Amino acid sequence: MSGTSIALKIQRYEHRYLDSLFSGLSFVVSVPFYTAFLHLLFWDVASARSPSSPPVRRVTATKDEESAPKPPSPPKMNYSHQR
């Protein structure tokens, strides 16, 4: 069987479902779809309201934690390039 005869046999299959499927797929990859869809996607993602945050509780240190010794700070790096 040659490639041409296989292509002709495949082209004989006609079905309303397949026609609708390929018509929809051709629209999905078209420019009008992207120009409409990307604007809607941006609107939903960038312009949507963020959910309200829960109430914030202040965390305070206990007396023991306030009097505990503080860890040493890291040494400062000298970035000057002196020769």
Query: 24-78: per-residue pLDDT in tens?
Result: 888 888 888 888 887 888 777 777 777 777 777 777 777 777 777 777 887 877 7
- Select from 18, 32, 35 the least CA-distant residue to 10: 18
Instruction: Indicate whether 79 pLDDT > 80.
Output: no
Q: Mapping DSSP to helix (H, G, I), strand (E, B) and coil, where does residue 73 land?
A: coil
Identify the residue with better confidence: 83 or 8.
Answer: 8
Residue 65, token pair as written in the block:
């934690």
Average confidence (pLDDT) over 14-26: 87
- pTM for the predicted model, two decimal places: 0.32
